[in-house]
Structure 1
Amino acid sequence: MNDLSSSVVQSDACVSGDEHQQRENLFTLLKQALKARGFTYARLAAEMNMSELSIKRLFKEKDCKMSRLLEICSIIGISIDELIQMQQRFSQIPEFLPESVEAALAKDKKLFLILILLVSQVDIPTVGSLMEMDQARLYLHLRELEKLGIIELRSGSGFRFLVSLPIRWRMGGKLAGLIKGINKRYIAHCLDHEKDPEYAFTTASRLMSKSSVLQIQNNLHRIREEFDYLSSQDQMFYKVEELQLHKLVFGMGPFPLDVILAED
């Protein structure tokens, strides 16, 4: 068991406020995993040779004995490390990559997109399929990410990140032009598919007070948090073939007509 697991899952009765919240989050995710996999408390109890009442008490009291958690995870088909890493991602603050790394990524759009897919928890075989790359070409790009110190390749199609997640991009840095171009093309794509039920697009301009603007912006931040939260759950609890890559883009701020009217 790695250090992450041992630091989060403890059997002591007394825990700090942060540890209590970690347990709350961990068992919330575990209950969601059970539901996604079609497990009731009664079914889980039968698999564990326990009474349904005991299982309900376990989840109510959030009994964090490692042996029990390992058994539950094994039964429903996920690893304890995956569960804990998912829980940890929710509280992490995005960090920048070194500017030299951003500069290297800016020179190769395909390399940047492969990194975006990996950060989005897309597995390597699916990345190859989405990018329409054969195994040899994809491996060369993955080796470039490894040389940049972003990932470490493992046997088979495995890898691990060597940088903290999530990643924050410098909007005024070397990647700015590439990021702007990607988002412009995506917004144009959404406009072209505005009547398609799989897409949602809206735009508006109004005179507003600072307090109303702040309220809307706070709501947009909450939508982003929900997007991250729900996508993380889906990537853990659904099969890859049941998921489709989606992108979320929104912007709100003063409407500078001189900028809008300027020629490209």
Structure 2
Amino acid sequence: MQARIFETLKTVLRARKITYAELARRLETSEPTIKRVFAARDDKLSRIVEICDALGLALEDVVAQAKRTTVTPVALGDRIEAQLAGDPSLFNFFILLHDGMPVEEIARQFKLDPGDTLRMGRKLERLGLAEVQATGRIRLLLEHPIQFRRDGPLHRALMKINLDFVRQVFLAQDTEAAAFLTQSRRISGDTARHMMTELRRLNRELSEMARQDQLTLPTSELKSYKLSLAWSHVKFSSLLTIEGK
């Protein structure tokens, strides 16, 4: 989401013929600093608010404009998927980064040292998926949602992650923020298509709310959640067994 906000701000600068130098003067900072901020397309919320104020814009208007941008999932391609499939730790590191988990939190949860995370960052850099900056910070170059091929090189890894997740939720106690929900009903084709539309809408809503949370809240207030949905006509004879005498 931040990348799209900065793209919106760049559009405003071009439309008003305001240079980075002029924006830097209004913010009482240096032009190289402004160039770095826009090149990284990532900064703290206070900086974004300052830029909006300097341009006479309301943050909510900029966010609303950025949200109008259609975000189309992108495919990584078989070559990159195959290399990630051949290095499960790198693939897991990548998907956590892409979900917005800070490197420091990944390192804490998986007991990685700075050398480990730097090596993984360099590997992602060679794949064209990330940039390791001079400070050692790893910046992903791909903000768009990713559409992994379920029949591609990462097939087994994706299946394992999702089945293990469903198993964990199934075995755990339901809470106000987490639960395993399932039901089967005999319904019409129209109802089935309506439910699929609603489930896709829910998935998009979750994606947008996650971007807003990551933009406005400190990392310490965020936790990782996962949604796995399966909706389809079911042939019970492939799932159940009923034996006669």
Report if TM-score (shorter chain) is over 0.5: yes
CA shift in 2, pair 1:202/1:68, >3 Å: same
Deviation at 1:4, TM superposition (A): 5.5
> Hey, what does 1:5 align to over in structure 2?
9
Which amino acid in 2 is paired with 1:234?
Answer: D
* Contact in 2 for aligned 1:150/1:163 (Cα 8 Å): yes
> Hey, what does 1:252 align to over in structure 2?
231
Which amino acid in 2 is paired with 1:171?
Answer: R
Q: 1:114 aligns with which of 88, 93, 118?
A: 93
3-state SS of paired residue (2:239): helix
3-state SS of paired residue (2:153): coil
* Contact in 1 for aligned 2:169/2:180 (Cα 8 Å): yes
* Contact in 1 for aligned 2:132/2:139 (Cα 8 Å): yes
> Hey, what does 1:175 align to over in structure 2?
154
Deviations 1:164-195 (A, max 9, x none): 61211111101111101000000000011133
CA distance in 2, matches of 1:231, 1:121: 9
Alignment of 1:123-162 (within 5 A): 123-162=102-141
Deviation at 1:160, TM superposition (A): 3.0
* Contact in 1 for aligned 2:118/2:136 (Cα 8 Å): no
Which amino acid in 2 is paired with 1:5?
Answer: L
CA distance in 1, matches of 2:67, 2:130: 19
Deviation at 1:90, TM superposition (A): 5.5
Provide the aligned C-alpha RMSD in A. 3.3
Deviations 1:201-254 (A, max 9, x none): 111111111100011111100110110011111111111011111111111002
CA distance in 2, matches of 1:90, 1:249: 25
Which amino acid in 2 is paired with 1:256?
Answer: K
- The answer to whether residue 174 in structure 2 is matched with residue 195 in structure 1 is yes
Q: Give percent identity, aligned residues only.
A: 24
* Contact in 2 for aligned 1:151/1:160 (Cα 8 Å): yes
* Contact in 2 for aligned 1:125/1:157 (Cα 8 Å): no
Deviation larger for 133-142 or 214-223: 133-142
CA shift in 2, pair 1:194/1:255, >3 Å: farther
Aligned length: 205
CA distance in 1, matches of 2:182, 2:206: 20
Deviation at 1:140, TM superposition (A): 1.3
* Contact in 2 for aligned 1:11/1:66 (Cα 8 Å): no
TM-score by length of 2: 0.72
TM-score by length of 1: 0.67
Deviation at 1:139, TM superposition (A): 1.4
Gaps of 5+ in 2: 1-5, 18-44
